[in-house]
């Protein structure tokens, strides 16, 4: 798992590539929590994520809850088909705001 991070229109965009699993989820958790502490608006680009397991999902949920506790915005964008299936199975596609693209998320304010 690798990630890139950038700021655009007052929003932090973090993009992950590879697998988010038990091995990489502690790093994902750290990156996401650092992002939500630094910015009220975070978009997570999952277009490059081939696989996500429950530990990866838990990292996303924790970052989401941390953002919501501070009245920020946390959303997912360009979720790959395999990652979306996992979110749908956990019914988290109804919890997270999910955009078709990062650009769509930015246009909506993150």
* pLDDT value of residue 92: 96
Of the pLDDT bands very low, low, confident and very high (cuts 50, 70, 90), residue 43 is very high
Q: What is the pTM of this model?
A: 0.94
Q: Which residues pair with 54 in a beta bridge?
A: none
Q: Is 5 left (phi over 0), alpha (psi -120 to 50) or beta?
A: beta
Select the CATH number that applies to the domain covering 2-104 from these four: 3.30.750.24, 3.40.1190.20, 1.10.443.10, 3.30.1130.10: 3.30.750.24
Q: In the chain, what are the domain boundaries?
A: 2-104
Distance from chain centroid for Cα 31 = 10
| pLDDT (mean) for 23-28 | 96
* pLDDT value of residue 20: 97
What is the rounded (10 degree) CA torsion for 32, 72, 74, 110?
-120
Question: Nearest to residue 21, comparing CAs of 50, 62, 48?
Answer: 50
């Amino acid at each position: 798992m690798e990630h890139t991070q950038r700021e655009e229109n007052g929003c932090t965009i973090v993009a992950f590539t590879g697998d988010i699993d038990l091995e990489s989820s502690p790093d994902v958790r750290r990156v996401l929590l650092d992002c939500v502490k630094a910015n009220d608006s975070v978009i997570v680009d999952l277009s490059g994520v081939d696989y996500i397991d429950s530990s990866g999902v838990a990292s996303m949920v924790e970052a989401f809850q941390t953002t919501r506790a501070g009245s920020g915005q946390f959303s997912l964008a360009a979720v790959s088909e395999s990652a979306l299936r996992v979110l749908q199975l956990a019914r988290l596609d109804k919890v997270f705001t999910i955009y078709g693209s990062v650009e769509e998320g930015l246009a909506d304010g993150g």
